[in-house]
Amino acid sequence: MDWLEIKEFLKDTLKIVIFVVVILFIIQYVFSVTKVVGNSMHPTLKDEELFILSKFNYRFTDVKRGDIISLKYANTKYLIKRVIGLPGENVYIKDSTLFINNEKFEESYISKELEYDDFYLKDLGYDKIPEGMYLVLGDNRVDSLDSREIGLISKKDIIGKIAIRFWPLNRFKFI
């Protein structure tokens, strides 16, 4: 190899390295693909559906009630749940009805026929949700591993917000 060939090789290699670094940065900090496993978010999200998860925006914006998020759970697993309770709020479920700060909260995304157990924030040892913590629930309250069992979640455990359902194609939707 002469010097020009080495220089071209190094240029091409540098382009590939930069491309790989950019892709890894995007996957780590901007967005990634995630999949629903199970029925805990039914009927909103279904088992095996694929989504684009927005990470970058979510690191700098407030978590909002109703956001569907992916969160770290048990080291290597993740869960997809809906944010229900925000810091400073008291949340409870009585007779299959959600109350936030003692006011009934209408949830259009859950099945009205479902009956599920009562839950009180006091069951987790809190009067109100502490700063930086959130209460998350699955839309299928009968079949969901959520804050009622795993406790409140910290903002640092939130991976990102579900942004786009892209599979199956006939259910494509911006969330």
Q: Specify the pLDDT at position 100.
A: 95
Q: Active site residue: 40, 54, 70, 144, which one?
A: 40
Q: Specify the pLDDT at position 73.
A: 85
Task: Evaluate whether 155 touches 63 at the Cβ level (below 8 Å).
Answer: yes
Q: Specify the pLDDT at position 59.
A: 61
Q: How many domains does the chain have?
A: 1
Q: Active site residue: 54, 55, 70, 81, which one?
A: 81
| pTM to 2 decimal places | 0.79
Q: Specify the pLDDT at position 143.
A: 87
Gap between the Cα atoms of 45 and 53, Å rounded: 14
DSSP state of 169: G
State the 10-residue block means of pLDDT for the chain, 175 residues long.
Answer: 80 86 73 79 87 73 87 80 96 93 91 85 94 94 90 90 83 80
Q: Specify the pLDDT at position 133.
A: 94
Task: Evaluate whether 124 touches 37 at the Cβ level (below 8 Å).
Answer: no
Task: Evaluate whether 168 touches 155 at the Cβ level (below 8 Å).
Answer: no
Q: Specify the pLDDT at position 27.
A: 67
Tell me the residue range of the domain where 97 lies. Answer: 3-174
Q: Specify the pLDDT at position 138.
A: 93
Is 111 marked active-site? no
The CATH number of the domain holding residue 124 is 2.10.109.10
Is 144 marked active-site? no
Task: Evaluate whether 146 touches 138 at the Cβ level (below 8 Å).
Answer: yes
